[in-house]
Structure 1
Amino acid sequence: MSILSIDAGTTGVTAVVVTPDGQIAAKGYQEFPQHFPAPGWVEHGPEEIWQATLEATRAVLAQVDVGELRGIGITNQRETILLWDRETLGSPRRAIVWQDRRTADICSRMRADGHEDRIVELTGLRLDPYFSGTKLMWLAEQEPHTWALVQSGRYAIGTVDSYLIARMSRGNWHVTDVSNASRTLLFDLSEGDWSDELCGLFGVPRDALPELVPNWGELARTDPQAFLGLELPIAGIAGDQQSALFGQTCFDPGDSKCTYGTGSFILTNTGTTLERSDAGLLSTAAWRSPEGELTYALEGSIFVTGAAVQWLRDGLQIVGSAAETAAVAASVDSTDGVVFVPALTGLGAPHWDPHARGLIIGITRGTTRGHIVRATLEAIAFEVRDVLETMPGLASLRVDGGASANDLLCQLQADQVGVPVERPKLVETTALGAAFLAGLGTGVWSSTDDLRDTWQLDRSFSPATDRSAADAAHERWKDAVERSKGWAG
């Protein structure tokens, strides 16, 4: 008895098989290309996402007994929006990715027209290019011929989860869950459903949107002719950050986690209470049970953390791999005053400035790649601190995602936030969360208490007793952030 979990991330797709004891029995991974057609624009080819999903899954199926699989969990990069033909499943254009900033002017226009307060009230979000609604408005304005086929019912609209489910089921299912829907600017957070008012405001036909289903249960079913011979229930769905919250077994109000991925995302479970933030945090749906109970969360969204490390590797080419950064950063005792603000796609929480741009300041003739790499790791820790300072009462922080394997980063993070940082033995908690959801949906696990029993601590990082150096570095960071704001405005 095991679960196939598919994590369709921003730069690649990971497939894992999770056993009843919460361990990963097999893993496959496939990157897919990133497309940058204009400054600030980020796109993905839907077919490239699908092929990466097939390759990652094919790799993992070769390592396990397929007959033991009981269901499939899907988790995905959120806010990325796709269109596809309901009959052929082909896509008329590339997906517009959550990182894409092309709709900054639309956001400014809607803000000037007085819509932001109502949008915040209904969605728990804010007017920012990050979210899906303005991406769809841009498509309607800039690509009217494509949009006409959305309005006629030929093209479906969806997030990555709904696209993959359509492909896996040969178009028989068009569904999503509340965690993905709540990131579109089209979802009424209090009502727990698509909003006719918001669909009207953004000009999106409600009929083009997916049906909302619970986060676990038999939600859809794969077609063996479409998906590698598998005929299994798709039994768990969640956007990647809510999935990581579930995978970290943060089931009680107040439980918090930070996932280090392409960006970093801090979520705190607020239970059945819809809490609002005045400090730049987002209110969001965490998950909905088959009985209809909706759990909420507060979220701090940081756009670029792991992507900054990827830029060091691919853009500057000063490291050969992400894993190399710990050793390179440790080759120097400090950054010698170098500060890197990785606002490569603007700034997210708590600043929310789409016009901010990346900045490296404090460079001298003595600056080496070690200083820049260390400044990159410090920037990640600073960004997370900025968000957590708006969440009082934090006792500890559970971390996950690829960069959490970096001991230096975890120690820097503990020093900055002043509470223990706890890393589980299994840091693939995004994929694990989707597996947990699917396992609840198929009876592999009977309750969240069963899931808690699978969580194991790898290491706890304690903050430095004297935080004066950490505080001084953070003050210098805040100065640099202010200098980065409004650059592209």
Structure 2
Amino acid sequence: MPSYVLAIDQSTQGTKTLLIDKNGKIFWKNSLPHKQIINNKGWVSHDLNEIKSNLKQLFESALNQVSSQQIESIAITNQRESAAAWSLKTGEPLAKTIVWQDNRADDLVKRIAIPEIRHLVKNKTGLELSPYFTGAKWGWMLINEPKVIQARHNNDLALGTMDSWLVYQLTNGSSFKTEPSNACRTQLMDIHKVQWDHKLCEVFGVDIESLPQIVDSNAKFGETDLFGLLDHKIPISSVLGDSQAALYAHGCFNLGDFKVTFGTGSSVMLNIGNKLPNNINNKLNTSIAWQIDGNINYVLEGNINYAGASVTWLKDQLHLINTPEETEQLALTANPEDHTILIPAFAGLGTPYWLSNMKAAFVGMTATTGKKELVRATLNSLVYQINDIINEFLTLSPTINSEIHTDGGMIHNRYLMQYLSNITQRQVDIADISELSAMGSALNAMNKKDISTFTDTYNPKMSKQTAQSAVSEWLNWIHKLS
């Protein structure tokens, strides 16, 4: 009788569960979306109870596929940087999750952003001081959410990223843990010591006692009966942030390996081995890929806030498309002489620009610019940002490989993948499954590193000079508008 890892992928748009066998093959999968709660200020929230309810439904579906005895362990991967708060006693949420995209803590960050604090945060965490990361979001909650404030007063406050919340719920409150790939993205963990830092917590107004225990990425996080659906308990054996889990599934275990994940946002991540860069005070984020059996792998990372979210904007706000799939053909048939560029600064521009006050704009339009050109400009903007991040890698890492490993929903867009190869002048390798994050955490649970996850490749079809010209035009507009 075959056995499976039940992988949970708790992402921005929804929650997915997969049954993955010992050969790294997906036997079954299912998903449920949850509401994107967006107010008139553009704040983005999720309802933790809705996510928990969806997860229980997905577990029920999984148990209709296999017997409970066939599920050996649980692996979790999750949206990073999103901030959750709940009661230690009851496990009940105290506020809506503040989603990683959300910029509401911007004023708090501006108040504390004196040079000394910026320097402290960057050098201890490897991250630029920003409302993007979780620490500022929790700081905002502790000022503005009455139930969070009261729970703190009552010593009943748990603050965690989505992995910690899932572990807490799955273990019925008996385990309050996280691991370095998630903890390093909060701006509260010292990346050198791999532990919560009192000074950083003080900067954001967070009590260190409210935070989970940091353990290895392949630790035993606790045991679960899947909300009472099992008559026995199974271990939670792996937790990885979604981007790091995808890096694992790509097999990017060596210095110089890197990948691009195309999701709601996009993560460009380079494995830099077991040593931090000499200059941690750089334009990129320095993070931890994973800590397995006590051994750490570090990464350089550039994050793009709006990737798939830009295409969603084309669909839901501009009504230029009905489905994301339409963008491929529209871009392929756009006027080649049109030079329209989208500056996708819907929440400022992040890595490597750090222009939090920049606003989004279409630039370079003419009277003949139409739907096709606007769609193509949106896809192109993602490629230009990825290329700028890769160029930053080159300034910091002695080794960077010529292949770009890609995953996520947008890898099936032939125009986008070819343009990525053209502009970067690199081979683009396409993952053969879209569920790389879930696969990576499951493989970590199984301690497997030899699974191939690639299918198609793209090679440059544009001259280096033409590519450089396009990049220069993009950078000139960024300079003009910054």
Class of the TM-score when normalised by the shorter of the 2 chains: over 0.9
Relative distance call for 1:205 and 1:277 in structure 2 (3 A) is closer
Separation in 2 of the partners of 1:125 and 1:310? 28
Separation in 2 of the partners of 1:397 and 1:49? 33
Is the contact made by 2:243 and 2:261 (CA closer than 8 Å) also made in structure 1?
A: yes
What does the per-residue CA deviation read over 1:15-47, in whole Å, with 9 as the maximum and x for residues that have no partner?
111122222111111111111224242111111
Number of the residue aligned with 2:29: 27
Number of the residue aligned with 1:372: 374
Number of the residue aligned with 2:330: 328
Number of the residue aligned with 1:261: 263
Separation in 1 of the partners of 2:221 and 2:265? 29
- Does residue 469 (structure 1) correspond to residue 471 (structure 2)? The answer is no
User: How many angstroms does 1:93 deviate by?
Assistant: 1.2
Separation in 1 of the partners of 2:363 and 2:37? 28
User: How many angstroms does 1:379 deviate by?
Assistant: 1.1
- Does residue 425 (structure 1) correspond to residue 432 (structure 2)? The answer is yes
Separation in 2 of the partners of 1:313 and 1:64? 38
Instruction: Please provide the CA RMSD for this pair.
Output: 1.9
Relative distance call for 1:207 and 1:415 in structure 2 (3 A) is same
Structure 2, unpaired ranges of 5+: 395-399
User: How many angstroms does 1:230 deviate by?
Assistant: 7.0
TM-score by length of 2: 0.93
Number of the residue aligned with 1:93: 95
Separation in 2 of the partners of 1:425 and 1:333? 31
Separation in 2 of the partners of 1:332 and 1:110? 46
Is the contact made by 1:335 and 1:374 (CA closer than 8 Å) also made in structure 2?
A: no
User: How many angstroms does 1:66 deviate by?
Assistant: 4.0
Separation in 2 of the partners of 1:64 and 1:317? 42
Number of the residue aligned with 1:132: 134
Number of the residue aligned with 1:339: 341
Separation in 1 of the partners of 2:306 and 2:47? 21
Number of the residue aligned with 2:397: none
Number of the residue aligned with 2:54: 52
Separation in 2 of the partners of 1:52 and 1:478? 43
- Does residue 404 (structure 1) correspond to residue 425 (structure 2)? The answer is no
User: How many angstroms does 1:288 deviate by?
Assistant: 0.8
TM-score by length of 1: 0.92
Mapping for residues 226-245 of structure 1, pairs under 5 Å:
226=228, 231-245=233-247
What does the per-residue CA deviation read over 1:207-240, in whole Å, with 9 as the maximum and x for residues that have no partner?
1111111111422111344467673211000111
Separation in 2 of the partners of 1:389 and 1:323? 29
Please tell me the residue identity of whatever aligns with 2:415: L
Percent identity reads 31
Separation in 1 of the partners of 2:30 and 2:179? 25
User: How many angstroms does 1:69 deviate by?
Assistant: 1.7
User: How many angstroms does 1:430 deviate by?
Assistant: 0.9
User: How many angstroms does 1:247 deviate by?
Assistant: 1.1
- Which of 387, 391, 399 is equivalent to 2:393? 391
Is the contact made by 2:59 and 2:226 (CA closer than 8 Å) also made in structure 1?
A: no
Separation in 2 of the partners of 1:468 and 1:474? 10
Separation in 1 of the partners of 2:221 and 2:27? 24
Is the contact made by 1:84 and 1:92 (CA closer than 8 Å) also made in structure 2?
A: yes
Separation in 1 of the partners of 2:348 and 2:9? 25
User: How many angstroms does 1:479 deviate by?
Assistant: 2.6
Is the contact made by 1:224 and 1:230 (CA closer than 8 Å) also made in structure 2?
A: no
Separation in 1 of the partners of 2:479 and 2:13? 29
User: How many angstroms does 1:4 deviate by?
Assistant: 1.1
Please tell me the residue identity of whatever aligns with 1:435: A
Number of the residue aligned with 1:284: 287
User: How many angstroms does 1:14 deviate by?
Assistant: 1.7
Separation in 2 of the partners of 1:333 and 1:158? 48
- Which of 51, 69, 72 is equivalent to 2:71? 69
Relative distance call for 1:333 and 1:20 in structure 2 (3 A) is farther
Is the contact made by 1:101 and 1:354 (CA closer than 8 Å) also made in structure 2?
A: no
Separation in 1 of the partners of 2:268 and 2:380? 17
Number of the residue aligned with 2:120: 118
Number of residue pairs matched by the alignment: 474
What does the per-residue CA deviation read over 1:350-374, in whole Å, with 9 as the maximum and x for residues that have no partner?
0112212211123333222211111
What does the per-residue CA deviation read over 1:219-265, in whole Å, with 9 as the maximum and x for residues that have no partner?
21113444676732110001111111111111112111110111111
User: How many angstroms does 1:277 deviate by?
Assistant: 4.7
Separation in 2 of the partners of 1:225 and 1:143? 28
Is the contact made by 2:60 and 2:229 (CA closer than 8 Å) also made in structure 1?
A: no
User: How many angstroms does 1:478 deviate by?
Assistant: 1.7
What does the per-residue CA deviation read over 1:187-217, in whole Å, with 9 as the maximum and x for residues that have no partner?
0111111112212222211111111111114
Is the contact made by 2:305 and 2:350 (CA closer than 8 Å) also made in structure 1?
A: yes
Is the contact made by 1:15 and 1:27 (CA closer than 8 Å) also made in structure 2?
A: yes
Separation in 2 of the partners of 1:118 and 1:169? 36
Please tell me the residue identity of whatever aligns with 1:412: Y
Give SS of 2:289's match. Answer: strand
- Does residue 79 (structure 1) correspond to residue 81 (structure 2)? The answer is yes
User: How many angstroms does 1:335 deviate by?
Assistant: 7.0
What does the per-residue CA deviation read over 1:127-156, in whole Å, with 9 as the maximum and x for residues that have no partner?
111111111222222235532312432121
